[in-house]
Amino acid sequence: MPKESYDDQGKLFYHYAKLAGWNQSRINALLVKKWSATHWNALTQIEKRAAINMMKSYVAKAEKSRCARLRQMIMAYVSKNGQTLDWLHDMMEVWGAGRSLRALNYTGTVEVWNAVRACFHKETP
């Protein structure tokens, strides 16, 4: 069914599903298994709210996983370029990101990644 046929809650649910990295077949399997529904519009309002809340938790889990991978990339990149984690934490404080990578959300972690890459980026003549 085209996405225009979804209500606002359906659009929000599918947005969260996309953020969580789910594909359409996985979404369909969830709807059938949990609520015996073959389409979003077949759910009741209570079921829709429950589905959205469930998908929010999957988004949080996916974001936490992406943050962990990105933190590892940052630390490896800093180390590869001859700096220490103390240097990273000092630079993060200068950039206004605090001293902890774990305390950052995904957007903040991406900003630190871009700043770290900019520190070591060497232009070729």
Q: What was the pLDDT predicted at 121?
A: 80
pLDDT category, 122, cuts 50, 70, 90? low
Quote the pTM value: 0.73
Residue 5 has pLDDT above 90, yes or no: no
Residue 8 scores a pLDDT above 60? yes
**The one-letter amino acid at 79:** S
Q: What does the domain layout of the chain look like in residue ranges?
A: 3-62, 64-120
The DSSP element (H or E) to which 1 belongs, if any, is none
Report long-range pairs for 18-23 (Cβ below 8 Å, ≥24 apart).
Answer: 19/59, 19/62, 19/63, 20/55, 20/58, 20/59, 20/61, 20/62, 21/62, 22/55, 22/58
Reported confidence tier of residue 12, pLDDT bands at 50, 70, 90: very high
The tens digit of pLDDT for each residue in 27-79 reads 999 999 999 999 999 999 999 999 999 999 999 999 999 999 999 999 999 99
- pLDDT of residue 82 exceeding 60, the answer is yes
